[in-house]
Amino acid sequence: MEYFERRRQRFTLPVAPGGTPFQQRVWRELQQIPWGTTTTYREIAERLGQPAAVRAVGHANGRNPVAIVIPCHRVVGANGHLTGYAGGIATKRRLLQHEGALLV
């Protein structure tokens, strides 16, 4: 609820979702994306030191079991377009607008 009231911009609760070691690295990196900003799959892959792993980052992003807590909605395509989100693109757009990362 605090997130939707804009009183919580970062989740500090411990989460330990099951996944491959690579997925867990991606999810930890997703948690570093600040409120109100976006990044690309390529930028995540580069931060992980695996610039060729763009598709693998996308796959890990899609397997995120705790969306919003691990903010996978903050990842966009290289062209800045909104790409896949388990809750749908309209939900992703609303979340990013809520955070001020997209203009209404």
Which DSSP symbol is given to 81? -
Which DSSP symbol is given to 15? -
Beta-bridge partners for 39: 75
103: left (phi > 0), else alpha (psi -120 to 50), else beta? Answer: beta
Examine the residue annotation and report whether 44 is marked as an active-site residue of this protein. Answer: no
Q: Pick the catalytic residue from 30, 44, 56, 72.
A: 72
Q: Whose CA is closest to 76, among 29, 26, 37? A: 37
Tell me how long the chain is: 104
User: Residue 22 corresponds to which amino acid?
Assistant: F
Catalytic residues: 72
